[in-house]
Structure 1
């Protein structure tokens, strides 16, 4: 399993995913689920994936080779808008399903793939989409400025309590990492290292992906600080008067 989260903020995007994959308790591996592509000054796109690793990697390979959209072959470097980019990812998922879905079904395996698609193409604002296994998608908005895929339920409460569209990128990074920490503490199928990308609005430049492992001092301090403050806050809450 995995956990990936994207934050849609006024100042940009925060894209964060873990790298743990497992096919049983004795077959755990590390694979990046974050993909980037772009053209300096023209577009910057980031994808996060969850689901069957063979399926999600096949989708990414098809996107690199080209997928037909409206009778025209496209890659993420040629689509004219982020909306079209989300459509292209959906078309790639359906193409992989058409090729591999029957064989997976015959083996008793489910076709599972979902993607967070975030970025900006020159001439338009940044966008963040969640593309489902069927190829349809939804879009993050200022009212709901985050999207999640994978094992999302454990990391959602802190985001819904704190996040707004006006949250700064720095606070967004903190919030994403706290959400990830809550998930890792609860579900062993989600684990280090993490891949983090922070995109600033209108830069149209792909920043480097930061790999966060157990040795990362900031993340280690954040985990301990969050836990200790949560414990202290709980102790500071008043006891019920009727007890």
Structure 2
């Protein structure tokens, strides 16, 4: 399992992902879930992946082959990001279908994967989509301007409370890191290195800001400790139940 999220802000797009692919008692492995494709001045695209690693790797590999072979449709000649989202769904379904048709020990094997793709193509506004394992996709809304894939439930509450289209980039990136850290705290299948990237709306450049945090990075440790301390402090300042309980006696 993994956890990735992306936000559609007035200023641009924020992407954040973990890198854990396996977390057993005797093996922990990592693999980047953030894939970047760009032609400076023409398009800047980011794809996040979650789910079956073999499926997501095969899909990303096919995108790369399309570029190498200059196929009639590829991510560098697509007119809209939504067209690429459709193509991702098609590739994912085709890869999953290979396993569905196999019998023997692979029968019933779950090869599903999900993707987030966002970015901007020259002549169009920025776009952000989540591609389901079934191949269809949705976009972010003004009410909920973020998308999540993977282990989503632990990191969702803070996104609901903080993220709005007009949220400053700095705030959004800190919120994304807290969202992932909260997930790591509750689920061992999500873990560092953490990758975060900000694409500035209209820039058509590969990245405005990008950083990668290893497990022992000082900032990650400071963020985690500060969040723990402040959330405990906020809890202690919640209205007391004493008056209500006394009134019930």
Distance change (3 Å), C-alpha of 1:216 and 1:24: closer
2:149 aligned with 1:120:
no
Distance change (3 Å), C-alpha of 1:36 and 1:105: farther
1:33-63 residue CA offsets vs partner (Å, 9 max, x unmatched): 1111010110000000000101110011112
Structure showing greater radius of gyration is 2
> TM-score, length-normalised on structure 2?
0.90
Q: Partners of 1:148 and 1:25 in 2: how far apart?
A: 27
* Root-mean-square deviation (Å): 1.8
2:189 aligned with 1:189:
yes
Partner of 1:139: 139
Partner of 2:226: 225
Q: Cα distance, 1:141 vs. partner?
A: 2.0
Q: Partners of 2:185 and 2:103 in 1: how far apart?
A: 32
Partner of 1:75: 74
Q: Which stretches of structure 1, 4 residues or longer, exceed 4 Å deviation after superposition?
A: none
Partner of 1:41: 41
The answer on whether the counterparts of 2:99 and 2:109 sit within 8 Å (CA) in structure 1 is no
Partner of 2:215: 214
The answer on whether the counterparts of 1:64 and 1:76 sit within 8 Å (CA) in structure 2 is no
Distance change (3 Å), C-alpha of 1:218 and 1:237: same
1:133-167 residue CA offsets vs partner (Å, 9 max, x unmatched): 11100001222200000000000001101110110
Partner of 2:102: 103
Q: How does 1:1-20 map to 2 (within 5 A)?
A: 1-20=1-20
Query: In structure 2, the residue corresponding to 1:50 is in which secondary structure?
Result: strand
Query: In structure 2, the residue corresponding to 1:38 is in which secondary structure?
Result: strand
Partner of 1:167: 167
Distance change (3 Å), C-alpha of 1:211 and 1:118: same
Partner of 1:91: 90
Query: In structure 2, the residue corresponding to 1:95 is in which secondary structure?
Result: helix
Partner of 2:244: 242
Query: In structure 1, the residue corresponding to 2:220 is in which secondary structure?
Result: helix
The answer on whether the counterparts of 2:23 and 2:189 sit within 8 Å (CA) in structure 1 is no
> TM-score, length-normalised on structure 1?
0.93
